[in-house]
Amino acid sequence: MVADGPVWAVVVAAGSGERYGAPKQYERLGDRRVLDWSLAAARSVADGVVLVVSPGRGADPEPGADAVVVGGDTRSESVRAGLSAVPDDAAIVVVHDAARPVATPALFAAVVAAVRSGADGALPGVPVVDTVKRHADGVVVETLDRAALVAVQTPQAFRAAALRSAHAAGGEATDDGALVESAGGRVVVVPGEPANVKLTTPADLDRLAASL
């Protein structure tokens, strides 16, 4: 079991929005910006929240965050920048992509509870409904068993020491769970939320607005 201790959240909002066509985390969603929804949900479980932003926005006022830091060229570098602002006494760190604005407080609570129960990390996952095939140069070489697969979301929670150690080598991955797994950590999956889609295209903004 993880001893009681402060929970901090790192909300990553440093992307340029190249695929979207604009910095999507600053788009309006309902009565606030996309990133404001993510900050509020993170605050539901966290004693402190670090917001990671792109260069040029480090001086922007962000009342929903306790600290604002500038991210790096990659997602992993941005998470490391956020971790540098998390106090040393934090027991658990939750990492969340600002572009997933409809993740609920209940989902944040679920990943934190899984770490409190002894896991090094906890990720939300939803079942894969499509048949998934692996191919080489356009030729199918394997059909994967989708019953053993999940599509992973954020928020992801970790023992602070495990996450810091996994990032210490400066590795790169598409999510923090992969780094903790590679470092030998025990990472568990909790049920994700189908509505917790990542804002990637303008059409996604309409879907997210409808789910609010």
Could you tell me where the DSSP H helices lie in 44-96?
75-83
Residue 13 is encoded by which pair of tokens? Answer: 């909002």
Instruction: List per-residue pLDDT tens for the chain, 212 residues long.
Output: 565 899 999 999 998 877 888 899 999 999 999 999 999 999 999 999 999 999 989 999 999 999 999 999 999 999 999 999 999 999 999 999 999 999 999 999 999 999 999 999 999 999 999 999 999 999 999 999 999 999 999 999 999 999 999 999 899 999 999 999 999 999 999 999 999 999 999 999 999 998 88
**Mind listing the domains of the chain with CATH numbers?**
7-211 (3.90.550.10)
By C-alpha distance, which of 80, 85, 56 is closest to 68? 85
Question: Which helix (H) or strand (E) segment is 97 a member of?
Answer: strand 92-97
- Strand pairing of 48-53 and 7-13? parallel
3-state SS class at 93: strand
CB distance 175 to 163 below 8 Å: no
Q: Tell me the chain's radius of gyration from C-alpha atoms.
A: 17
pLDDT digits (tens, 9 = 90+) for 102-134: 999 999 999 999 999 999 999 999 999 999 999
- Strand pairing of 32-33 and 133-136? unpaired
Please give the C-alpha separations between residue 200 and each of 55, 119, 156, in angstroms, as whole numbers. 21, 30, 19
User: Rounded to whole angstroms, how far apart are CA atoms 171 and 66?
Assistant: 27
User: Rounded to whole angstroms, how far apart are CA atoms 123 and 114?
Assistant: 9
User: Rounded to whole angstroms, how far apart are CA atoms 197 and 184?
Assistant: 29
User: Rounded to whole angstroms, how far apart are CA atoms 102 and 199?
Assistant: 10
User: Rounded to whole angstroms, how far apart are CA atoms 144 and 163?
Assistant: 30
